[in-house]
Amino acid sequence: MVDFFIRCSFIILAFAFASGAIVEHTLNIDNVAVQRLCSQQVITAANGSLPGPTITVNEGDSLIIHVINQSPHDMTIHWHGVLQFANGWADGPDYVTQCPIAPGNRYTYRFNVTEQEGTLWWHAHISYLRATVYGALIIRPRQGRNYPFPRPDAELPIILGEWWNVDVVKVVDEASALGVGPNLSDAFTINGQPGDLYNCSSSSTYKLRVQQGKTYLLRMVNAGLQSIMFFKIANHTMTIVSIDASYTKPYSTDVITIAPGQTMDVLLRANQRPSSYYMAASVYQGSDFVAFNPTTTTGIVEYVGSTASTPIMPRLPDSNDNSTAHKVLSNLTALTSAPFWHPVPRRVDERMFITIGLGLLPCGGTGNTTCQGPGGMRLAANMNNVSFEPNTRLSILEAFYNNVSGIYTEDFPSNPPVQFDYTSMNNINNMALLPTSRGTKVKRVKYNSVVEVVFQNTALGSMENHPMHLHGFDFHVLAQGFGNYDSTRDQRKFNLVDPQIRSTISVPIGGWAVIRFQANNPGVWFIHCHLEVHVPWGLAGVFIVENGPTANTSMIPPPADLPKCSH
């Protein structure tokens, strides 16, 4: 069986040989003043808008994106879900694949979008700046190829976000100084607007005008930083047809669960009487141990000819409705007849068991003598008890490519150092298990090896759902469930026929998920939780995939204008 990635790697390694069009954009990153929630706030944004511009391409096209950083902050842009075959230089995570673009500087990202169709997105990948620097990336089929579902009458992005009434960079800086979690957002947004239920927001509420009998493709993105969301449209059913730019068997539902970093393409048929209907989103938290923002963001679906003065409101699930959330996230399956679908690799070369949770570190290094975490320590998220710490002297990718020592170590553990009852609430404050360590540790794997990862959520410090995003790869989600993973019992649940394919998996609260991917994309690839609160705390890691045996299966050289680290 010829692997999907090998087939496509021979035709897209060199930018100059792309078969599609060249699509060029400029993102001017600058501080702008915007009005939200009764006050004016200065934010960092792309091209003066929130969200930033939607970038639309056809499969097979090449993108040239000029990023001009006129903001006061360092900046990188990540093209979330784009596979970047052998071209990690364009991936974007700071100090992993590149040094940041310093204020007053610019950098051009060049990459191909090949053998992917659907909705992805782009966002800042540094500090909390992705709260306001983000936008949709839409990949349509190339000319002559159709969607694997009836063509909609119109399509448009629906981007869920979060809003703070203060400078988001100060939010994370203050939290880091105190060793605690950052403040919750003040509002949620739909396409940058909080909606009717927030003060001073009714006049700017997002509106979608529809015509009875027509079908609309909603390209949904959860660009939020802290919250998994439920989404509903009053009196309407939606059909999920794609997730993370991978087609699914059509799945009809009246509610969607979507985690930060995830995308969904859903078909909305305007089959109700002409009126006005709220679309609404609120938090799925699933636990009483973590504080969350209980407010609801709204937009309006307004039929042509409607005379309704007040939209109809949907009833959203309760914030702790684990059953509804899990049903939506776990029942999706791949459309095996779709273009670019690839089957599950059957052999496994590398098995990893990765625990996810919170830990504690000594308070030092912040200028304070006492932090406000448990025992006067600072919170530190971790995987297998390793809290990731980026090396700001050089990116890991540059160090790997140029064989520079002293930037990282290749000793990320494939298993947790201690086995325990991972999901027992008796361990939430277990001081024997909470101490952790920091390091720039990576996991090195051979080219073309098959890697299977069990993500195991823990109750350490809190009980949460963690959306884990793997750069550089799509992966098969073989199974997911609650409690402690048991290989003997739970391997029988593996879907090896048509599992969903994603780049961001929402690991169930107090549970686990198993993914499998083929490591045939050489380079350095970040893996991290997309709850942004946990990235500064270290819930992240790195895979290094060795070069393949030929030039066509090896990394391309770095661009000449790659930003340099200032540290």
Q: Please determine, for residue 370, whether its predicted confidence score (pLDDT) is greater than 90.
A: no
**Across residues 40-62, what is the average pLDDT?**
97
Q: Please determine, for residue 16, whether its predicted confidence score (pLDDT) is greater than 50.
A: no
**Helical segments of 392-517, H only:** 396-401, 487-490
Give residue-wise pLDDT tens across range 236-273.
999 999 999 999 999 999 999 999 999 999 999 999 99
> Of 289, 338, 272, which is closest to residue 457 (Cα–Cα)?
289
What is the pTM (predicted TM-score) of this model?
Answer: 0.94
Q: Residue 84 corresponds to which tokens in the numbers above?
A: 């970047």
- Which pLDDT belongs to residue 3? 43
Give me the percent of the chain exceeding a pLDDT of 70: 95
Give residue-wise pLDDT tens across range 187-197.
999 999 999 99
How many C-beta atoms surround the C-beta of residue 364 within 10 A? 11
Q: Please determine, for residue 118, whether its predicted confidence score (pLDDT) is greater than 70.
A: yes
Give residue-wise pLDDT tens across range 326-342.
999 999 999 999 999 99
Those residues whose C-beta lies under 8 Å from the C-beta of residue 399, and which sit 6 or more positions away, are 391, 405, 407, 408
Structure confidence at residue 9 as a pLDDT band (50, 70, 90)? very low
- Which pLDDT belongs to residue 99? 97
Q: Please determine, for residue 162, whether its predicted confidence score (pLDDT) is greater than 80.
A: yes
**Across residues 126-147, what is the average pLDDT?**
95
Structure confidence at residue 22 as a pLDDT band (50, 70, 90)? very high
Structure confidence at residue 374 as a pLDDT band (50, 70, 90)? confident
Structure confidence at residue 291 as a pLDDT band (50, 70, 90)? confident
Of 358-372, 475-489, 521-535, least confident by mean pLDDT is: 358-372
Cβ atoms of 172 and 536 within 8 Å: the answer is yes
Those residues whose C-beta lies under 8 Å from the C-beta of residue 96, and which sit 6 or more positions away, are 390, 395, 396, 397, 524, 526, 542
Q: Please determine, for residue 10, whether its predicted confidence score (pLDDT) is greater than 50.
A: no
Q: Please determine, for residue 124, whether its predicted confidence score (pLDDT) is greater than 60.
A: yes
- Which pLDDT belongs to residue 2? 37
- Which pLDDT belongs to residue 192? 98
How many C-beta atoms surround the C-beta of residue 217 within 10 A? 23
Give residue-wise pLDDT tens across range 483-536.
999 999 999 999 999 999 999 999 999 999 999 999 999 999 999 998 866 555
Q: How far is CA 421 from CA 290, 359, 380, 484, 564, in A?
A: 20, 16, 20, 7, 45
Q: Please determine, for residue 12, whether its predicted confidence score (pLDDT) is greater than 60.
A: no
Q: Please determine, for residue 415, whether its predicted confidence score (pLDDT) is greater than 60.
A: yes
**Across residues 51-56, what is the average pLDDT?**
98
Give residue-wise pLDDT tens across range 422-470.
999 999 889 999 999 999 999 999 999 999 999 999 999 888 889 999 9
- Which pLDDT belongs to residue 556? 96
- Which pLDDT belongs to residue 532? 66
Give residue-wise pLDDT tens across range 209-227.
999 999 999 999 999 998 9
**Across residues 368-376, what is the average pLDDT?**
78
First-last CA distance in the chain: 47
Residue 388 to residue 256: CA distance in whole angstroms: 32
Q: Where are the beta strands (DSSP E) in 290-377?
A: 297-303, 350-361
Sheet holding 350-361, edge to edge: 437-439, 386-388, 378-383, 350-361, 449-457, 511-519, 475-482, 501-502
Q: What is the mean pLDDT of the chain?
A: 93
**Across residues 160-181, what is the average pLDDT?**
90
